[in-house]
A and B are shown apart, each in its own frame.
Chain A
Amino acid sequence: MIDRSASDARPDAASGTGRPAPASAGIFDPGLLDRCISCGFCLPVCPTYRLTGQETSSPRGRITLMRALESGRLADGDPTLAEEASFCLGCRACETVCPAGVRYGELLEQWRDHQWRGRRRPLLARLLMAVVSRPALLGLQRLVRRYATGKAGRRAVPGGADRPASLMLGCVERGLYPEVSRAVLELRPELAVPGGQGCCGALHAHNGDSAAGRELARKLGERLDGTIVTTAGGCAAHLAHHLGRDRVAELSEYLERTGYRPAGEVRVNGRRARVALQDSCHLRNALGVTRPPRELIAAVADYVELPNAGDCCGAAGTYSLLRPADSRAVLRPKLEAIEAADVDYVVALNPGCLRQLRQGLRRARSRAKAIHLAELLVMAARAANRSTPR
C-alpha cells in the first residue's frame, strides 16, 4: 500500500543524492525499465551476484541503478554505475527466471551505449571493434579462397531444407579457430560461404555501440543468403534479434532441422568418450536452444550433464579480456564441475567459451579437452569412415 510518510522520510536519510527527479534522461526505453517489479527471482542465477553477494551486482540491483541514472538520482559519472555496467557479464541468465518478462539484455545494451559512449569505452574493446570491422586482418581471405562458392544454396541440402543456407565465418573463429568452420563444411559441404563477410555486430552491441551492432547485422544479412548458419551462440542471438529468428540457425539447430544423422562414435582409450556440454549463454538464455546440442553429443558419445552446464563460463565476449580476474572467478566452479564429472571432452557452442574453457582447463592441468561441437561430430564421422572401408 501507499504510505505518504515514506517520502517524508527521505530528507533525513541524507544520501546526498537528493530526490529522484521526475524528468527522465531518455537513456532507456521506459517501457523496458518499468517492467521490473524487484521480486528478486533473478538473484540466485546471477553469476556476479554469486561472486559478491551484493545487491548492486545483481540484475535487480542493476535495474535499480539504471532507474537512478534515468531519473537523475545518480550522477552521470557515478563510479558504481560505471563499475556495475562493466562487471555484468551480459549472460542474460536472469531473463530465463524472470516471470515479469524483463528484457535485461536490451536494457544492458542501452546502459552501455550511454555508459561507454565515445572515449569512455574500454580501450581494449575499442581496439577489438576496430579490428573486426576489417575482415582482411582476420585471415578470412585464406579460408574463403579455400571454401567460398560465392553463391548460396546451389546444391540441395539433404533432409529437405528447401531454402538456401550460408555459413557465417565469425570474426573470432576465423582468427582463432578456422578449423571449426572447416569442420562444419566437412559435415555440411552444401553450405555456401560467401566472401566479404564482416562482423555480425554482437561485439559492438555488447560494448556500448548498439547502433553499429544493428548496422553490421543488417549488412551481414544482405551478404549472406537464406538461413545464416553460425557456430557462435552469441552471434546467433544478436542476428536473430535484428534480422528475425527465422533467418538464423546455430549449428546444432541447423543440423537438426536438416535431418543430419551423426555417424560413428568418439572413443577414448578403447571406450566410448565421456562428453559434457557448456551451453552458450545467449543460445540458451536468449534463444532457448538447449536440446539439439545435447542430442547430437549423446548420439556419438556418452553425454554427461554438468550440474552447472547452463551457467556462464565467464568468457562473455570481451569480458575475459576486459576483466580477466572476474572472468576466472566465474569460471572456477565450472572447472570444478568438469573435474568432478571426469569427462574426456567439454563441448562449446561459441568460440569465446571455447577459448575460455581451453585456457582454464590448461591452467588447471585437466585431462578434459574443450572442443567445438562441429569438431566432435567430425571426429566421430571420420572414425566411422575409417571403420567402414569403401
Chain B
Amino acid sequence: MPTIALDDHVLLKGISKQFGSTRAIDSVNLTIRRGEVHALIGENGAGKSTLGKVLAGVHEPDEGSMTIAGKTVRFRSPRQALDMRVTMVAQELQLVPTLTAIENVYLGIESSRGPVVDDRDHRDRYQRLVQQSGIGVDPSRRVDSLSVADQQKVEILRALAREAELIVMDEPTARLTADEASNLLQIIRDLSVGGTTVVFVSHFLDQVLDVADRITIMRDGRIVRTSEAGSESTGSLVEAMIGRTLEANFPPKSPPDTTAETVLTVKGLGRVGSFEDVDLQVNAGEIVALAGLVGSGRTEVVRSVFGVDPVDCGSVEMLGSGVGLGTPRAAIASGMGMIPESRSDQGLMLRRPVRENASLPRLGLFSRLGMVLRRGEQESVQVATTEVDLRAASLEMPVESLSGGNQQKTMFARWLIERPRLLIADEPTRGVDVGAKRAIYELLAGLAEDGMAVLLVSSEIEEVLGLAHRILVMRGGRIVCEIDGIEASEAEVLEAAFGTSAEEAVGV
C-alpha cells in the first residue's frame, strides 16, 4: 500500500474529453510514477497535448477520475492543479514580457513586508532555486530580451518556485536550437533526479528516446501502449503511432489529366525564419498536399502564396503570369481562393449573417455602381450553400450560431459563387465533425475533378494520403521530398516528416 502511494504520482482512470463532436481523448488509463520523465507521443491530433492539459487543469475532463499523490482530484482550473503541485510549461510561453526574470518567477506569490514587495527575499530565494536546479538565468533581465530557451528556463523556475512536483512540458524543444534543446533535456533529467516528475509532450522521437524513462504512445485519443523507453526505437514508435488501416472514408481518386495546364508555379520562395527555397507547381485538376509536422512551415508557405504574409525572395505565378505578392486582394484577382487555417480568426465575421460571410470576396459580382443587389446575392449564396450542403435555419443567421462543420462549409460556399482556378485549403477539416469531414473530402475531390487546382495543407496524415495526387513533405521550412499520392504509404510520409531514415524504420 504505501509503496503504491510513493511510487505512483498520477493515476488516470477512464479520462475522456470531447471538443464539439471530436473526442480528443477517449477513456484513457495511465499511471505516471513519481520522479520519472514520462513522454507522451503521437501524431498531430492524437490527443497528447490535450491529455497534458487535462493533467495541468487547463481542460476539465468530461469523464473519468484522476488521483494525484494519493488524492482523488477534479481540476477545474490550472490554479487548482497548482494547489496539488501540478503545473505546465505551455507551448506558448506565458510570461509577462515587460517584467524581469525574477519578477516573473515570483509573480503572484510575492513575499512582502506589509504592502512592500520584499525584493531581497526574492533574490535570496532565486539564488537558492538556481543552485538547487542548476538552471541559471540573469534575474534582472527583462523577459522580452531573453532568448526563447532562457524564457523557458524562467517558466521552469517559476514552476519550481511554486513548489511544483509535476511539470507538464508541451513541445518544449519545438522552438529551440539543437544546443538549447540538449541543454533543456539535461535540465529535465536533473529535475527528475531531484524528484520532480516531468511529463514530456513531444514529437521529436530521438529526444523522447533520449530523455524519457517511459513512453506513452497515443493514437486517435487512445493510448496504444506505455513502455520502458529502453525497449523502443524510432521505428517501433512510428509504427505504433500509425498502426491503423486507412478507412474507406475518401472518395476515389481520379487520375489527374497529365496534359492539364499548370495553374500555380512557385519558384524559390523564401521568408527568413519561416521557409526557404520552396518550389512547387499545381496543375489543373490536381490536389497537391503539403504535409509535415506542425511548425514545419506548411501554413507559412501557403499564406505567403496567397499574399497574406510578405516574402523575402522568390516568385508566384498563376497561369504563367506573375502575381503581385503581399496582398490577398491581388491573389484573389489572379484566380486564387483560400480557406485559411483558422476560420474564426482569419475567415469569418462571426456575428454577421451566413449570406454576408459567403458573398464577401465576390460582392463585385452583385454590385452595380457600388450598390449591392440583394436578390442576386441571395440567389448565388443560396446556390452555393446548397451545393456544399450547408445546414442553417436561414442564411440570415449569424455564422457563429452554426456548428464548426457548417461554418467551414460557409467558407467553401464563398469560393463556389465564382470558382477560383486555385483553391488553397489550410486544415479544411479542423474542428468539424465526421459527417462534415466526409462532405468536405467529397467537395475537394469534386472541385479537382472539375478542373480546379487544389493546394491542401493538413496535419491529418490520412487526409493527405486519401486526397492528394502528389504529396510534398516539409521539414524545417523546406520541402524535403515529393511522394506520389497514389502509391504513398503513411510510414513513408511520416518518416520524411520526422526525418527518421527509411532503413531505421524498415529495420524494425
- Decide if A and B are genuine partners: no
Please report A residues at the B interface, Cβ cutoff 8 Å.
Answer: none
Please report B residues at the A interface, Cβ cutoff 8 Å.
Answer: none
